[in-house]
Structure 1
């Protein structure tokens, strides 16, 4: 039944593609024309197209993740029932609780059902989470490629190699003539900084670097069934 549910949504997506094919072709030609604006614009368009073509994967991933998260939460809550404990949301802790025999019987049935359904749900969750991670990884890669293209230091690197005074970081003062009477003559020689410091200083302020991946948070979301969004 769960497999038919996912197949139904895939068939709905294919039906949508067939119906919207003329509109998508026009939009694709528009994107091709806009792609002439530059490589960074093309990278941004690729990210949007990837989001569009993988929308059905995202929808099924949300269903699988929510179902997996509910089952895991239910199993944890029912396991506390066997231990005579329950979660207190007001105080944010686990307190002791006395349960009746009827509650324990219903909890045992629910725990058994959820436990035997978990392998099937887990399999679908692993498959569609893997697809989601591939899509998010490609989007993150394209985002970082766009950032590199926006900050590509070709002009600055050329000036640095030519020892141009435009990219000088400090100046070196040398005493040319020092007399007891008369002016003090100094020689000023611009000193270029290191290549990395020059590049960092010349990055446009409007361009923000992509956020780093928090691997601990990502793994925690995967285990608990929380949704994963591109960074």
Structure 2
């Protein structure tokens, strides 16, 4: 792996890896490798539901893949899916998200975003536990800005959630593009490096079993502020 490529072979995969693949060379899609050719990832069910998927009360599955688990959701319509590597990468390649990256590395990679962070990953067993728990019990609602596939994988790897009720997204891929401050009547882009998960101070670790109630409390707090 060098500064310009994080592409890996399947033989190099390790359980608990945060992996990603490029979609049309425009954006990257993220997931967690849990072993045995399985990747757990988070999709927007409102969009993916239009791509030939069939739904039942407990499972959504892509019928084109013959592997029994591929495309399954334990919480139907929730967007957290278990997929084989082939279906995850489609016609693309496999890349490993880099943790504990040097600041210079992150600054270079921010040109495209969504590939690395200065933050340290938790041990693989914790990462896999979070990913499998969310697959089995559900995850919060998909949001491109606040809760996308990169946010899902970052949470699985670190257990960190933003306490900023106005902007909870941790995705470097999205944060580098979205204006987040208002000054002199116009919106201004925040310096991308300051949004890196390893730099931010507005995050705290939340147990996966407590994640749903934690997020619900954040939303309630935000609602109460808006009503004032």
Q: TM-score, normalised by structure 2?
A: 0.24
Q: Greater strand percent: which structure?
A: 2
Q: TM-score, normalised by structure 1?
A: 0.24
